[in-house]
A and B are shown apart, each in its own frame.
Chain A
Amino acid sequence: MTSKVVVTGIGAVTPLGATVDATWEAILAGTSGVHTMDNDWSEKYGLAVDFAAQVDPQVVEDNLKRVQAKRLDPSSQFALISAREAMADAGLEETDPERTAVSWATGIGGVWTLLDAWDTLQEEGPRRVMPLTVPMLMPNGPAAAIGMEFKARAGVQTLVSACASSTESLGHAYDVLASGRADVIIAGGSEAAIHPITLAAFNSMQALSRRTDSPETASRPYDVDRDGFVMGEGAGALILETEDHAKARGAKIYAEVASWGISNDAYHITGGEPEGKHALAAMQQALDAGDLSASEIKHVNAHATSTPVGDIPESLAISELLGDNVGETLVSATKSMTGHLLGGTGAVEAILTVKALQTRTAPPTINIDEVDPKVVGINIVRDTPAELPSGDIAAITNSFGFGGHNAVVAFRSV
């Protein structure tokens, strides 16, 4: 490895706001992005869950021309808007196309495009199915949209591993830069899959919170009364650069990507291994590869989705990883505010981790009335933000996905 990898730009479209700044401000204020949905289908289909964490439709109207928006699935719309913010933030108006790459992610792909086309086929026949249907629904659509916009010719890839997707895409981006195949990479992920089908299906597997009378408190990681996750949507984009390239152009640097870790439970298609053994292996790998010791990790942005079974193994793994230092490390579960952005969640949480290191502020975890007694040891930031220590510190962000995927990215402060 010739150069370190650093973060020089960030962009986000989330249920809490159209930008990183708007999102971060809402996070620090402990705002819930979860609300009862205003649509014409929750009632029509009699959905048990009629709430979610949605992106304000105005964000797309404000940021994309109508003609461009029409040719992109919402997952690509969010992707492009977040990538533009990140590139502008990085001050990268122009890059060398042959040294610029994209490592993007989605968990589900263009589900709205696919099912709208199915409706058209059923109701109006094959002739009315639009010619752009396939490029819009394909999972690599968001990556391709970003790649074309910024002339990224050093490879445009999409990683798909359910809710671990965009943490894996950041890890992959690190590898691309570390192996010298590019100088700049636009990394992240997006999701726009709040659809009657996904809500019905996740609800059938009893994965979703059914707290319809109080959606704002439905996402409550670690709380003893948590009853499932809350669907979210949006995108997060990070500009990763080799340190040499960033320094040569005098770029501001948010944090260093120390390294990353990946493992698989190979255990159950949806349920994580109950002791968190393989999640721990991924975390340990991220530390070891990044030459970090447990005592340097002062902050963890946990995957913690608010499902009854999911939050426990991760907390066990974090305790095991940190050992005697566990009390010194502030753990935040930001899905309590953003909901679960599925394939976009890792990138958004990586951005929040980077912001935490930069501002030395760990985000709150809202909606915890009483910590589940089975969650032992970890020091959860509750209700209001908490200060992180000064000096050289590090943080990790975890993501786990259906299919047994575990991915962890470690960041170092600069």
Chain B
Amino acid sequence: MAFTEAEVLAGLAEIVNEETGLAVEAVEANKSFTDDLDIDSISMMTIVVNAEKKFGVKIPDDDVKDLVTVQDAVDYINKAQEA
């Protein structure tokens, strides 16, 4: 069963909170992982690994650099779910 876009965003926010301690509400769709949320590359990889697990998708390392904003990640996961 696929997750809705809102569910993916909420789930990502929880993963980011778990990894960084940032408030769930701070993880908004238009925020940049590096510039706005101050997430370093190791934390980003941890978030990706946890997102793969949570949403049952694969996010190859080469694609991670394209996930600039939270919305990019939501879109990627949505698309990957359909595949």
CB distance from B68 to the nearest CB of A (A): 19
Q: Tell me the residues in window 66-120 of chain A with beta carbons closer than 8 Å to chain B beta carbons.
A: 66-67, 70
Asked whether, in the complex, the Cβ of B52 is within 8 Å of the Cβ of A132, the reply is: no
Query: Pick the contact of B19 from A67, A127, A128 — CB < 8 Å?
Result: A67
Interface size for A (C-beta < 8 A) is 10
Look across to chain A and name the residue whose beta carbon is closest to the beta carbon of B58: A127
The yes or no answer to B53 lying at the interface (CB within 8 A) is: yes
Do most interface residues of chain A lie in helix, strand or loop, or is the interface mixed? helix
CB distance from A137 to the nearest CB of B (A): 14
The yes or no answer to B24 lying at the interface (CB within 8 A) is: no
Asked whether, in the complex, the Cβ of B42 is within 8 Å of the Cβ of A65, the reply is: no
A127 contacts across to B, CB distance below 8 A:
49, 52, 58
Asked whether, in the complex, the Cβ of B20 is within 8 Å of the Cβ of A130, the reply is: no
Q: Tell me the residues in window 11-29 of chain B with beta carbons closer than 8 Å to chain A beta carbons.
A: 18-21
CB distance from B61 to the nearest CB of A (A): 10
The yes or no answer to B45 lying at the interface (CB within 8 A) is: yes
Query: Pick the contact of A132 from B18, B20, B46, B58 — CB < 8 Å?
Result: B46
Bound CA–CA A67/B20 (angstroms): 6
Interface size for B (C-beta < 8 A) is 11
Look across to chain B and name the residue whose beta carbon is closest to the beta carbon of A131: B45
Asked whether, in the complex, the Cβ of A67 is within 8 Å of the Cβ of B21, the reply is: yes
Residues A65 and B21 in contact in the complex (CB < 8 Å), given A127-B52, A128-B53: yes
Bound CA–CA A185/B21 (angstroms): 31
Once A and B bind, how many residue pairs between them come within 8 Å at the CB atom?
23
B19 contacts across to A, CB distance below 8 A:
67, 70
Bound CA–CA A65/B49 (angstroms): 22
Q: Tell me the residues in window 53-75 of chain A with beta carbons closer than 8 Å to chain B beta carbons.
A: 65-67, 70
A66 contacts across to B, CB distance below 8 A:
21
A131 contacts across to B, CB distance below 8 A:
42, 45-46, 49
Asked whether, in the complex, the Cβ of B21 is within 8 Å of the Cβ of A130, the reply is: no
Give B46-67 as 1s and 0s: 1 = Cβ < 8 Å from A's Cβ atoms: 1001001100001000000000
Bound CA–CA A65/B19 (angstroms): 11
CB distance from B25 to the nearest CB of A (A): 17
B49 contacts across to A, CB distance below 8 A:
127-128, 130-131
A124 contacts across to B, CB distance below 8 A:
53
Bound CA–CA A130/B18 (angstroms): 14
Look across to chain A and name the residue whose beta carbon is closest to the beta carbon of B47: A131
A132 contacts across to B, CB distance below 8 A:
42, 46
CB distance from B33 to the nearest CB of A (A): 15
Asked whether, in the complex, the Cβ of A130 is within 8 Å of the Cβ of B52, the reply is: no
Look across to chain A and name the residue whose beta carbon is closest to the beta carbon of B20: A67
CB distance from A141 to the nearest CB of B (A): 14
Look across to chain B and name the residue whose beta carbon is closest to the beta carbon of A66: B21
Q: Tell me the residues in window 324-367 of chain A with beta carbons closer than 8 Å to chain B beta carbons.
A: none
B45 contacts across to A, CB distance below 8 A:
131
Bound CA–CA A66/B18 (angstroms): 8
Look across to chain B and name the residue whose beta carbon is closest to the beta carbon of A135: B42
Query: Which residues on B are within 8 Å of A, measured CB to CB?
Result: 18-21, 42, 45-46, 49, 52-53, 58
Given contacts A127-B49, A128-B53, 6 further A-B contacts (CB under 8 A): A65-B21, A67-B20, A124-B53, A127-B52, A127-B58, A131-B49
23 A–B contacts, CB within 8 A, in A order: A65-B21, A66-B21, A67-B18, A67-B19, A67-B20, A67-B21, A70-B18, A70-B19, A124-B53, A127-B49, A127-B52, A127-B58, A128-B49, A128-B52, A128-B53, A130-B46, A130-B49, A131-B42, A131-B45, A131-B46, A131-B49, A132-B42, A132-B46
Shortest 9 CB-CB contacts between residues of A and residues of B: A67-B21, A131-B45, A131-B42, A131-B46, A130-B46, A128-B49, A132-B42, A67-B20, A65-B21
